[in-house]
């Protein structure tokens, strides 16, 4: 109905993305969109697809009420329909009648205060018609945060009257603040690269950091970025791949740098223009949560970017009177590690004047937006730097690691001994066996294993195989998606405890490859059971096919080919090492990862 408006184009994009499960087609639809949409809309689309969603300016209660009123339905009926649809924005879009059939709100009595009009509210802007663009609608929505309820009501009604069903749905998604399009930032960046012929890596860098889509134009953000424009900008993280072969295959150990793989938050500290910014790997700016990390940064040269791990810390020089609490294990929990594991406090890590604490401690710091003095004392943070990416404003990511490491140690030397930042110590050994022995210490150090990095490796972008390897304690593990669940027996009756796991093949189809029954706590099983009940797709006797959404880290001791199994693969002692609540199914491992492990193991 509004074929050429920017908003109609955006709604069409939404439909195209929704109508396919193919990554290629999604990227193509996005790339086409980036080639044709109005420039301001492109910026907003980039913002929406990189987690920069507008805040909700109207309450869901208001929306429900107004929608019921427009549709001439009682509120209770709308509320009954909502859980069936599972999405308020969609529910409303589905019940709203054609604009001509919409029930007009009863006119207010003459005694009422004059209605604020859109025009006066928006500082002279015209009310939005069918030709409005995505940017216009979002600006209108953002403006509602300053408006009174009557204006909000009026604006929303006007939108519903103007828009078709799909556009209404997209508008409702925008207004409820829950906008997702099933496209990762990575895919969006790839599409943008296709549309602009700018390398994906460059775009990833340009799109990071703080920028306000209302204030930046497409030209500045994407096409002609000024490298000085955004001091806060971190570099895209370089991610390591799990080692799937004996390390001996990596060649001469002298070519490799080994360091501890810490169990904290991977982060970058950006210090430019006298200001510090701390970024998590998820590209979240977390400076405010770690004021203790930025204390002595002014001793570093301006234009420094460090890559490292944020850890909860215990200083060895001033032991607290009360020993820090261990992560609480619920009773009945079966620890995967042997009970004879060395106590955390006991191990002194060579090259460190302190002791990393379990991740559970660090969690106290990240769950809060601002941190109290008390918490800062209770759980001090420390940054163990792995790498130096920028020095005196120069991007040195293409330098060999050994050279970057030397510079890193050099600049960190200038910091006092009690500084909250230090270089993560290297693990020294002349042979792989020597490193393997050291690696056995990892658990005692609160580390997950070793990192092996080629001494000549540049700092790359994303997960690139070959130069950086995780050599974790668990010999083999894979993140897999749960696809079937079955209730257990005996004390596990009525609990779903037996799961079948799958990984995606090259077409994206999930291929089951193992079952696992153990490794989780009863509390976790209870939580998963409730989830399974709500997310059953089909039943086959006692087995339920569930939505392929939950990701688990499956640990196992061996892998071999097996003609008896449908997948052609048999695992030895598979168990659930962890419920990866932090990972969507799209980030689980793939069948290719699994077969890589298999061929490595066969040698």
Partner 1 sequence: MTKRTTSRTPVLSFTDKGIYCAAADAFIDPWRPVDRALITHGHADHARPGHGAYLCTEAAAPVIRHRLGNVKIETVPFGQAVAMGGAQLSYHPAGHVPGSAQIRVEVGGEVWVASGDYKVAADGLSEPFEPVSCHAFISECTFGLPVFTWDPQPTVMAEINRWWAACAAAGKTAVIGAYSLGKAQRVLANVDTTIGPILTHSAVEATNKVLRAQGIALPETTQLTAEMSAKSHPGALVIVPPSALDAAWTRRFKPVETAFASGWMRLRGIRRRRAADRGFVLSDHADWPDLNNAIKESGAERVFVTHGYTSIFRRWLESQGYNAAIVETEYGDEAPEAEEDAEAALLPDASDNPPEPSGAGA
The token pair that represents 11 in the structure block: 């709604």
529/533 Cα distance (integer angstroms): 6
Contact criterion met (CB below 8 Å) for 517 and 497: yes
Report in angstroms how near the CB of residue 74 gets to partner 1 at its nearest: 6
The residue (of 1 and 115) whose beta carbon lies closer to partner 1 is: 1
Contact criterion met (CB below 8 Å) for 408 and 329: no
The residue (of 13 and 297) whose beta carbon lies closer to partner 1 is: 13
The residue (of 18 and 474) whose beta carbon lies closer to partner 1 is: 18
The residue (of 167 and 309) whose beta carbon lies closer to partner 1 is: 167
The residue (of 187 and 257) whose beta carbon lies closer to partner 1 is: 187
Report in angstroms how near the CB of residue 491 gets to partner 1 at its nearest: 21
Report in angstroms how near the CB of residue 309 gets to partner 1 at its nearest: 37
468/453 Cα distance (integer angstroms): 4
Report in angstroms how near the CB of residue 73 gets to partner 1 at its nearest: 6
150/178 Cα distance (integer angstroms): 23
292/383 Cα distance (integer angstroms): 10
Report in angstroms how near the CB of residue 77 gets to partner 1 at its nearest: 6
The residue (of 87 and 596) whose beta carbon lies closer to partner 1 is: 87
What is the C-alpha end-to-end distance of the chain, expressed in Å?
62
The residue (of 86 and 490) whose beta carbon lies closer to partner 1 is: 86
Report in angstroms how near the CB of residue 140 gets to partner 1 at its nearest: 25
Report in angstroms how near the CB of residue 57 gets to partner 1 at its nearest: 24
The residue (of 77 and 299) whose beta carbon lies closer to partner 1 is: 77
Q: Where does this chain bind partner 1 (CB under 8 A)?
A: 18-22, 71, 73-74, 76-78, 80-81, 83-87, 90-91, 94-95, 533-534, 536-541, 547
Q: HEC profile for 26-63?
A: HHHHHHHHHHHCCHHHHHHHHHHCCCCCCCCCCCHHHH
Q: Residue 161 has what DSSP assignment? A: H
179/18 Cα distance (integer angstroms): 13
Q: List C-alpha distances in Å: 196 to 133, 170, 224, 391, 501.
A: 21, 26, 11, 30, 39
Contact criterion met (CB below 8 Å) for 470 and 261: yes
Report in angstroms how near the CB of residue 195 gets to partner 1 at its nearest: 21
**How many residues are present in the chain?**
603
423/410 Cα distance (integer angstroms): 10
């Amino acid at each position: 109905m509004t074929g050429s408006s920017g908003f109609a184009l955006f709604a069409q994009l939404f439909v195209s993305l929704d109508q396919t499960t193919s990554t290629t087609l999604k990227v193509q639809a996005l790339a086409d969109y980036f080639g044709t949409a109005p420039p301001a809309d492109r910026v907003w689309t980039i913002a929406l697809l990189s987690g920069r969603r507008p805040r909700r300016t109207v309450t869901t209660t208001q929306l429900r009420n107004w929608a019921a009123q427009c549709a001439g339905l009682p509120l209770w009926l709308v509320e009954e329909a909502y859980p069936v649809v599972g999405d308020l924005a969609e529910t409303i879009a589905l019940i709203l009648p054609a604009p001509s059939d919409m029930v007009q709100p009863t006119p207010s009595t003459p005694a009422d205060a004059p209605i604020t009009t859109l025009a006066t509210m928006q500082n002279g802007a015209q009310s939005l018609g069918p030709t409005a663009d995505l940017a216009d609608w979002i600006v209108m929505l953002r403006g509602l945060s300053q408006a009174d309820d009557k204006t909000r009501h009026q604006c929303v009604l006007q939108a519903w009257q103007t828009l078709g069903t799909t556009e209404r749905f997209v508008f409702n998604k925008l207004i409820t603040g829950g906008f997702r399009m099933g496209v990762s930032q990575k895919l969006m960046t790839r599409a943008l690269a296709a549309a602009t012929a700018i390398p994906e890596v460059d775009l990833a860098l340009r799109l990071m950091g703080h920028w306000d889509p209302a204030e930046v134009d497409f030209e500045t953000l994407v096409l002609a970025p000024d490298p000085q424009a955004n001091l806060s900008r971190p570099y895209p993280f370089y991610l390591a791949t799990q080692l799937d072969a004996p390390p001996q295959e990596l060649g001469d150990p002298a070519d490799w740098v080994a360091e501890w793989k810490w169990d904290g938050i991977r982060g970058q500290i950006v210090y430019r223009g006298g200001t510090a910014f701390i970024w998590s790997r998820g590209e979240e700016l977390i400076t405010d949560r770690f004021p203790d990390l930025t204390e002595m940064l002014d001793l570093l040269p301006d234009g420094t970017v460090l890559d490292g791990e944020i850890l909860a810390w215990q200083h060895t020089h001033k032991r607290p009177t009360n020993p820090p609490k261990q992560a609480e294990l619920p009773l009945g929990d079966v620890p995967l590690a042997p009970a004879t594991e060395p106590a955390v406090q006991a191990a002194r890590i060579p090259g460190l004047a302190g002791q990393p604490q379990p991740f559970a401690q660090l969690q106290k710091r990240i769950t809060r937006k601002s941190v109290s003095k008390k918490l800062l004392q209770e759980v001090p943070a420390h940054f163990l730097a792995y790498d130096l990416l920028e020095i005196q404003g120069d991007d040195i990511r293409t330098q060999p690691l050994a050279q970057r490491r030397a510079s890193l140690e050099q600049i960190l030397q200038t910091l006092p001994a009690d500084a909250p930042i230090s270089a993560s110590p290297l693990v020294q050994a002349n042979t792989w066996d020597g490193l393997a022995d050291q690696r056995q210490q990892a658990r005692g150090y609160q580390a997950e294993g070793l990192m092996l990095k080629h001494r000549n490796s540049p700092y790359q972008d994303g997960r690139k195989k070959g130069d950086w390897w995780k050599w974790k304690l668990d010999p083999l593990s894979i993140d897999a998606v749960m696809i079937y669940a079955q209730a257990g027996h005996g004390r596990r009756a009525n609990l779903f405890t037996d799961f079948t796991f799958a990984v995606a093949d090259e077409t994206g189809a999930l291929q089951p490859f193992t079952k696992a029954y153990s490794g989780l706590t009863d509390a976790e099983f209870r939580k998963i059971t409730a989830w399974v009940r709500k997310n059953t797709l089909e039943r086959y006797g006692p087995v339920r096919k569930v939505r392929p959404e939950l990701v688990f880290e499956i640990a196992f001791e061996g892998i071999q080919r097996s003609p008896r199994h449908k997948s052609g693969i048999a695992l030895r002692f598979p168990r659930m090492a962890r419920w990866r609540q932090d990972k969507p199914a799209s980030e689980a491992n793939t069948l290719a990862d699994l077969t890589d492990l298999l061929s490595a193991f066969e040698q």
